Amino acid sequence: MASRSCVVAGAWCFVLLHAVAMGAAATQYKVGGDGGWGVPGAGAESYNTWAEKTSFQIGDQLLFVYPKDKDSVLLVEPADYNACNTASYDKKFADGSTTVTLDRAGAFFFISGVDANCRANEKLIVMYINSQRLHSDRWNKLIKQSNHIIRNHEATRLSKDEIFHGNNMADNTSTASFLSYLPFCGCCQWELGSHPLHKNHTYNYHNA
């Protein structure tokens, strides 16, 4: 009985330590910096360029600050991201100060709830890939499919359920990698980060 209690206590201790470690590692990122969530100004860095350079982890938070009477944040599907379809969304936030937690591996697609703003590039893709469990054959499949997306200018060809939402991809200790699909220049950049086969390399794919 005593040994069982020790096991249970040890398990709870592990859970507690894991939770504390996750809390300590989590970071909050303000989307758009001091300017907040809005249409990027002339010469300003795009949201996706910023996302490519930011090392997100599961548990990190995105903070969207905007005038709630003039703007909003929509979490959408890839097809609606590409089309700036503000009528279809998974979640809508309109409180003026929205916090979204990156609670899983995979892609998160955000657009402004104002159609004109979205079409002026107020949109963001954040992606976290579990590189420790992304084996070489699966990685090669991603590369082939990403090239297909780029050639056709369609992010909808990339099935986030099929590719990025697998249950085996949730690992809080792995290093983030990012996909930024940029429909305006027709290019796709993979930052491979600590993927075991391609460590510290960045690959850029462009239309022929």
Query: pLDDT value at position 87?
Result: 98
DSSP state of 169: G
Query: pLDDT value at position 138?
Result: 55
* Share above pLDDT 90 across residues of the chain, in percent, rounded to a whole number: 41
- From the list 48, 38, 47, the residue with the least C-alpha distance to 181 is 48
- From the list 29, 17, 123, the residue with the least C-alpha distance to 72 is 123
Query: pLDDT value at position 22?
Result: 44
Helices of type H across the chain:
2-25, 47-52, 78-83, 115-119, 136-152, 160-163
pLDDT confidence band for 145 (50 / 70 / 90) = low
Q: What's the pTM value of the predicted model, to 2 decimals? A: 0.58
Which pLDDT tens digit goes with each residue over 173-197? 333 333 333 333 333 333 333 333 3
- Measured at the CA of 91, the angle between CA 162 and CA 119, to 5 degrees, comes to 85
- Which CATH code is given to the segment(s) 28-206? 2.60.40.420
CB burial string 127-144: b at 16+ within 10 A, e below: bbbbbeebeeeebeebee
Domain limits of the chain?
28-206
* Share above pLDDT 70 across residues of the chain, in percent, rounded to a whole number: 50
pLDDT(61) > 50: yes
Query: pLDDT value at position 55?
Result: 85
Mean pLDDT of the chain: 67
Weakest-pLDDT range from 113-117, 125-129, 147-151: 147-151
Burial (0-12, 13-18, 19+ Cβ within 10 Å), 14: exposed
pLDDT(132) > 80: no
Which pLDDT tens digit goes with each residue over 62-119? 999 999 999 999 999 999 999 999 999 999 999 999 999 999 988 999 999 999 999 9
